Amino acid sequence: MIPSPLTPLVRRITLHLADPARRPLPTITVHTRPTLRGWTFRAALLALVPLLLFTAAARTPGIPHSVTLTIAALATGLVVVHPTPTTAGGVIAVAAVLFWGFTSEPFDPWALAVALLAHLLARTTWWAAHVPPQGHAEIAALLTSWRRDLTVLAATALLGALAMLASGTTVQGAVLLAALAVVGLVLVALATDGSSRDDGRS
Amino acid sequence: MTVGGLIVARGRTSQGTPADGHHGWRPTSAYTAAIATGVLLLTTSLLAGRADIALIGIPGLLAATWAHTTRPTTPLRATLHEPPGTTTPGELAATLHLTTTPDTGPTADVIHLRITATGHRDTHLALTARATEDPAGSTTGRQVPLRLSSVRTGPQETFTVDLRGSRHRTWEEEPTQVRGATRLVLPGAAPLGRLPLPRRLRGLTGPHSSRRLGDGTELRDIHPFTPGDRLRRIDWRTTARRSPELDTLYVRRTYSTAEATAVLVVDSRDEVGPDIRTWRGYGTLRVDEPTSLDLARHAAASVATALVDAGDRVGLEDLARRRRPLPPAAGRRHLRRLVHGLALAHPKDPASLHRVRPPQLPADAIVYLFTTLLDDEPLHLVRTWHTMGHPVVVIDTLPDVRHVLEHHLAIAWRIARLEREDRITALDGEGAPVISWAGSRRDQATVRFEALARATQRHVPGRIP
């Protein structure tokens, strides 16, 4: 048999792949409660981001499917590769724009589903930012504030119901009142006594 | 800068405490992002006249604002509890105690850990801060048992834990660090059978029968009474049978008891692993594979345990001479001293810089030399000891070397291996058996030791004891 010029290369690659010295380092054994692997958060983001964007765009007429698909692909890639609260906030804003569609529709209860998915996306992104793919997170830690989240979502649903009831009526000066409320909220919320940290990665 | 008369640098005082008195708790960027997104969507909904757009940002805005109202004040405390004293291979463990005291104020609900250890992968964990309760019902804080996968012996670095608490994903604490102490891992001992002993035994007491007459249990012969024989040694039955008139008394003569002296010589001038690439001093030895020094420690501890259990005297010499030699002695306390000395044997300089002089040995001692046989020094030592009449058993402690891809290293190892085989052949030819302690050949070591013990105990006709 005539040796091929690729034979030494193939042999080297085979030996390289079979080299036991290149196996990963041993792990530290830690006894914890049941955990989830860190990569599951990114896998969840892989499904959550398109779901949020497609849900937001589903009820808006006039958006080409290719545009939604492109935005979803870009946003998913960005959030999965760089899962930070900022990127998650950006994706939520994009979802809101898709939901809006620059149209003047009446109140759409579909917004509640979008709000639920947006909240879920923010939570999952926070976990993905704090647990690397090879890390672990206890399931009990994921569920530490489920009561608080349920309360927030219930309050959101209540607000949505009130907004839907009020959507058919016209109140004089409501826009000015709402604008003042937004400005007041900004002042209250951002008047912190300390500088905010980065995305949690020291 | 100074705040309230205290010098503050990077938000901390000279004592390391947070200058703002809030134990390092800061709002996270998740809080800022939630607020910014919520306000943006509220403004958009206002401009567009659509309340449903604002609804999308409401959950994040509500959750962030709610969480921001309860600023945590209690710091997360962590301590690493390690068993005191020494340990054995595979038993490098500790318990991380995480203490959050919610009674004194809001504190962390999730704890982020990064656990690092030399030679191990970093471990990232996110744990709930909820304390565990013991069977009595009292809160004991969160306890996280940790264990390393290291099989190495000697002084070993243990855990470094970086940790940070967070609360409601809105507050995060400044990271803190706890470190474990350097632990001394003592070598374990494998059970061995009989071991070869020196040709001449010393002393008047001990577990062995010497070739000399004296007090003992092993019968040598029946002999007529001579001046100097003790009266209690008279065998009256034999005397009555052989000399009914009692004109000659017969005594039972026995071999005296004695003890053997062995000296363990550990060649700790170098420490090599199964990967040739690390032999040049570059790269890191894996902690889940024993090195030549680990094998030497294990083999020496096994031999020392077997000899001390048999009642013999054992000494220790270190060719790197970092520690004073341990003179031969017997007993469990001396065995602990030996094992401790073995664990502390460590190369100081490259082996080539050492000028090895044969250690001084007690007369009639057998030498157990633990070496990798990678240079000619062990061969010279064995020849010197043979000249002085000491029997030598060489234990080869080189690990099973793995195949390497680099051509020049493969050639270098081939040459080194051939030279090693020449040395082993020369040692065998000069009457110094070589017993391998690496890999699967360790199981055969017990059989080899037994065979050598039988060979040395065989009575050679005509030999004067």
Q: Please report, for chain A, the start and end positions of each structural domain, with discontinuous segments joined by +.
A: 36-165
What is the SS3 assignment for A25? coil
Select the residue of B39, B59, B128 nearest A185 (Cβ to Cβ).
B39
Share of chain B above pLDDT 70, in %: 88
- Specify whether the CB–CB gap between B68 and B31 falls below 8 A: yes
Which residues 127-146 of B are in CB contact (within 8 Å) with A?
127-128, 130, 144-146
Window A:124-183, CB contacts with B under 8 Å: 126-127, 130-132, 134-138, 140-141, 144-145, 148-149, 152-153, 155-156, 159-160, 163, 166-167, 175, 178-179, 182
Instruction: Determine, for residues B127 and A32 on separate chains, whether the beta-carbon distance falls below 8 Å.
Output: yes
Q: Nearest Cα to B415, choosing from B394, B434, B401?
A: B401
Per-residue pLDDT tens over the stretch B329-359: 999 999 999 999 999 988 876 655 566 778 8
Which residue of A16, A29, A111 is in closest CB contact with B52?
Answer: A111
In this prediction, what percent of chain A has a pLDDT beyond 90? 51
Q: Which segment of A82-96, A148-162, B193-207 scores lowest on mean pLDDT?
A: B193-207
φ/ψ bin of B452: left (φ > 0), alpha (ψ from -120 to 50), beta (otherwise): alpha
| Contact residues, B window 171-210, toward A, CB-based 8 Å cutoff | 172, 175
Cα distance between residue B276 and residue B414, in whole Å: 11
pLDDT of residue A197: 47
- Residue-wise pLDDT tens digits, B32-87: 899 899 989 988 888 888 888 888 998 998 898 888 888 888 888 889 998 888 88
Residues B58 and B81 in one domain: no
- Nearest beta carbon to residue B63 from set A141, A152, A192: A152
Least confidently predicted of A166-170, B255-259, B360-364, B450-454:
A166-170
| Sequence-distant (≥ 6) Cβ neighbours of residue B431 within 8 angstroms | B386, B391
CA A150 to mean position of chain CA atoms: 18
Last residue in a domain, options B217, B238, B258: B258
For chain A, report the end-to-end CA distance as a whole number of angstroms. Answer: 60
* B-chain residues near A118 (CB < 8 A): 56-57, 59-60
ipTM above 0.90, yes or no: no
**Cβ of B169 and A126 within 8 Å?**
yes
Query: Do B456 and B197 meet the contact criterion of CB atoms below 8 Å apart?
Result: yes
Instruction: Give pLDDT, residue B275.
Output: 87
Q: Give how far B414 is from chain A: nearest CA, Å.
A: 18
Per-residue pLDDT of A52-92, as tens digits, reads 999 999 988 888 889 999 999 999 999 999 999 999 999 99
Please state the rounded mean pLDDT for residues B107-136.
85
B20 reaches A (C-beta below 8 A):
yes
Statement to judge: residues B174 and B107 lie in one domain:
yes
pLDDT of residue A174: 64
Residue of B nearest to A200 (CA): B28
Closest residue of chain B to A151, computed from CA coordinates = B63
**Residues of B (311-330) whose Cβ lies below 8 Å from A:** none
Start-to-end CA distance of chain B, whole Å, equals 87
Structure tokens at B243: 């000399």
On whether residue B354 sits in a domain, the answer given is yes
- Torsion, Cα B384 B390 B391 B392, to 10 degrees, reads -50
Q: Does residue B417 sit in the same domain as residue B295?
A: yes
Asked whether the beta carbons of B406 and B415 are under 8 A apart, the reply is: no
Cβ contact (<8 Å) for B119 and A26? yes
Closest CA to B209 of B197, B195, B193: B197
Last residue of a domain, one of B258, B273, B291: B258
Q: Are residues B311 and B334 in the same domain?
A: yes
In a domain, B16, yes or no: no
What pLDDT score was predicted for residue B404? 81
- Hey, what are B132's tokens? 């565990």
Residues on chain A touching B147 (C-beta within 8 angstroms) = 28-30
Cβ–Cβ contact A50 with B under 8 A: no
Higher-confidence residue: B140 or B88?
B88
Secondary structure, 3-state, chain B:
CEECCEEEECCEECCCCECCCCCCCEECHHHHHHHHHHHHHHHHHHHHCCHHHHHHHHHHHHHHHHHHCCCCCCCCEEEEECCCCCECCCCCEEEEEEECCHHHCCCCCEEEEEEEECCCCCEEEEEECCCEECCCCCEEEEEEEEECCCCCCEEECCEEEEEEEEECCCEECCCEEEECCCEEECCCCCCCCCCCCCCCCECCCCCEEEEEECCCCCEEEEEECCCCCCHHHECHHHHHHHCCCCCCCEEEEEEEEEECEEEEEECCCCCCCCCHHHCCCCCCCCCCCCCHHHHHHHHHHHHHHHHHHCCCEEEEEECCCCCCCEEEECCHHHHHHHHHHHHHCCCCCCHHHCCCCCCCCCCCCEEEEEECCCCCHHHHHHHHHHHCCCCEEEEECCCCCCCCCCHHHHHHHHHHHHHHHHHHHHHHHCCCCEEECCHHHHHHHHHHHHHHHHHHHCCCCCCCC
Q: Which of A28, A144, A148 sits opposite B123 (nearest CB)?
A: A28
Statement: residue A193 has pLDDT above 80: no
Q: Is B385 within the bounds of a domain?
A: yes
Residue B1 in any domain: the answer is no
Domain boundary (B258, B292, B323) is at: B258
CB-CB under 8 Å, B37 with A27: no
Co-location of B341 and B417 in the same domain:
yes
Inform me whether the pLDDT recorded for B396 exceeds 50.
yes
In a domain, B10, yes or no: no
Q: In the prediction, which pLDDT does B322 show? A: 61
- Looking at per-residue confidence, does B444 or B440 come out higher? B444
CA geometry: angle at B53 spanning B50 and B56, to 5°?
155
B276, pLDDT greater than 70: yes
Same structural domain, B362 and B415? yes
Please compute the mean of the pLDDT values over residues B406-414 and round it to a whole number.
89
Q: What is the spatial distance between Cα A115 and Cα A122, in angstroms, rounded to a whole number? A: 11
Residue of A nearest to B404 (CA): A19
Q: What are the C-alpha distances in Å from B200 to residues A30, A168, B195, B206, B208?
A: 54, 112, 15, 13, 11
Confidence of residue A200 (pLDDT cuts 50, 70, 90): very low
- B53 and A99 in contact by Cβ < 8 A? yes
- Measured CA to CA, the distance from residue A139 to residue B12 in angstroms comes to 35
Contact B299, B342 (CB under 8 A): no
* C-alpha to C-alpha distance for B291 and A31, rounded to whole angstroms: 28
**Cα–Cα nearest to B262, from B354, B165, B189, B196:** B196
Task: For chain B, give the mean pLDDT.
Answer: 85
Least confident of A187-196, B128-137, B156-165, B408-417: A187-196
More confident residue, B265 or B9: B265
Which H or E element spans position A51?
helix A39-58
Q: Which of B20, B25, B32, B55 to mutate to test the interface with A (most CBs of A within 10 A)?
A: B55
Q: Is B398 exposed, middle or buried (0-12, 13-18, 19+ CB in 10 A)?
A: buried
Whether B55 sits inside 8 A of A190 (CB atoms) is no
Residue B331 phi, psi dihedral angles, 5° rounding: 110, 160
At residue B188, does pLDDT exceed 60? yes
Residue count of chain A, please give it.
Answer: 202
pLDDT > 50? residue B460: no
Give dist(CA A8, CA A11) in Å, integer: 5
* Tokens linked to A88: 């998650």
Whether B304 and B192 have beta carbons less than 8 Å apart is answered as no
pLDDT exceeds 80 at position B23:
no
Query: B266 and B254 share a domain?
Result: no
CATH number at residue B383: 3.40.50
Same domain flag for B144 and B287: no
Q: Is residue B2 part of a domain?
A: no
Give the domain range for residue B371.
Answer: 261-457
Whether B81 contacts chain A with CB within 8 A: no
* Residue B426 pLDDT class (50, 70, 90 cuts): very high
Does residue B163 sit in the same domain as residue B93?
yes
Which residues of B are less than 8 Å from A131 in CB distance? 124, 126
Residue for token pair 């345990």: B305
Give the residue from A113, A92, A108 showing the smallest Cα distance to A156: A113
- Confidence check: pLDDT of A139 > 70: yes
Average pLDDT across chain A, whole number: 84
Higher per-residue pLDDT: B53 or A1 = B53
